[in-house]
Amino acid sequence: MANAAKLSEDTANPPSPGSLRQLLTSTALPFVIGGFSGMVATTFTQPIDMVKVRMQLAGEGVRDAPRPNPFSVARTIVAQGKILDLYSGLSAGLLRQSIYATSRLGFFDTFINILKERTKKKGTEIGFGERALAGIAAGGLGAMIGNPADLVLIRMQSDGSKPKEQRANYRSVFDALARISKNEGISALWKGAYPTVVRAMSTNFGQLAFFSESKNQIQQHTTLSPRTQTFAASAIAGFFAAFCSLPFDFVKTRLQKQRRAPDGSAPYKGMMDCFVKAAKNEGLLRFYRGFGTYLFRIVPHSVVTLIVADYIWSFVG
């Protein structure tokens, strides 16, 4: 009877438009802030990402291939075209962030808020393991949703490294999406999805879990200003994100770049096949080729993303 009375009362007093609007806003806000922050960061770091991709594709399948450095790669890109070629794939990068960053940061903040409510009721605090699981889950979900844009980004960035007669010369991210879907099938847009998801989970474990934990520790044990706390925590998070994810990023790049031969064969059958062949033919250290460049890309991207997001949250509460 009590339940029936409560149901009747709820039906008679539905949520007001104002409270419903507030609920929708509070639910959507983490996703909007996450996407915007990621897009700002990508605009700053796109040239570094372009160089990183070209370094990972250099000397594919050859153990003793010449080892390029980021400066020689950047010079080659500019010499073959123009300085704006360093921004090749920016439209795909922004599309990717509008999907991937929106999802992963939005899900992470949502998961953390749920954990806060749960630990508040228990009178405890969120542990590092819980932060890590939230980051891993958010990264995996975001990567699966954003894989088509990620694949297009790799295709656009690697296109200029091919002989002119083999280049696709994509006009835009939407042209690339349409042509890949038409020529290779819709499922091709999720090529490399498994390593992409694993990479995202490792990146988010390093970035979001360590940022959340580092900031919590810095707040408790230092007297640094809030902005300095955010900067320090995001730099720490960037390092761990790079260290944890580069091997998976390497494999993801190789898989997404490959195309099938006329007979239907491909250089790699999947993630593990790529790991084994690269380790056997090129050496284990090849997985960390370009770590400095990757770190130089990940740390600024993490710092800008997390600082922009933190700054916006300080205004909206």
Query: Tens of pLDDT along 83-141?
Result: 878 888 788 889 888 888 899 889 988 999 899 999 988 888 888 889 889 989 999 99
Count how many Cα atoms sit within 13 Å of the Cα of residue 207 in the half-sphere of its side chain: 30
**Domains present along the chain, CATH in parentheses:** 31-316 (1.50.40.10)
- The DSSP H or E segment spanning 191 is none
The identity of residue 311, as a single letter, is: Y
Percent of the chain with pLDDT strictly greater than 90: 18
Structure tokens at 275: 């790991």
List, in sequence order, the alpha helices (H) in the chain. Answer: 2-12, 17-57, 70-80, 90-122, 128-159, 173-184, 193-204, 210-221, 226-257, 271-282, 291-316
Q: Give residue 27's Cα distance to chain centre.
A: 21
Structure tokens at 78: 């500019």
Terminal CA-to-CA distance of the chain, rounded, Å? 40
**Among 23-37, 93-107, 207-221, where is mean pLDDT lowest?**
23-37
C-beta atoms surrounding 270 within 10 Å: 13
User: pLDDT-derived band of residue 64, with 50, 70 and 90 as boundaries?
Assistant: low
Task: Quote the pLDDT of residue 279.
Answer: 92
The average confidence (pLDDT) of the chain is 83
Rounded Cα distance, 77 and 25, in Å: 44
User: pLDDT-derived band of residue 2, with 50, 70 and 90 as boundaries?
Assistant: very low
- Region 197-212: what's the mean pLDDT? 86
pTM exceeds 0.95, yes or no: no
Instruction: Give yes or no for a contact between 114 and 148, defined as CB atoms under 8 angstroms apart.
Output: no
The closest alpha carbon to 241, from 295, 309, 293, belongs to 295
Q: Is residue 270 over pLDDT 60?
A: yes
Rounded Cα distance, 251 and 282, in Å: 13
Task: Quote the pLDDT of residue 292.
Answer: 84
Using the structure block, give the residue that is written with the tokens 């295709």.
Answer: 155
Query: Tens of pLDDT along 158-186?
Result: 887 778 888 888 888 889 999 999 998 99
Task: Quote the pLDDT of residue 12.
Answer: 45
Instruction: Give yes or no for a contact between 277 and 227, defined as CB atoms under 8 angstroms apart.
Output: no
Structure tokens at 39: 């897009």
**Among 50-64, 76-90, 186-200, 296-310, where is mean pLDDT lowest?**
50-64
Query: Tens of pLDDT along 276-296?
Result: 999 999 898 888 888 887 888
Instruction: Give yes or no for a contact between 100 and 38, defined as CB atoms under 8 angstroms apart.
Output: yes
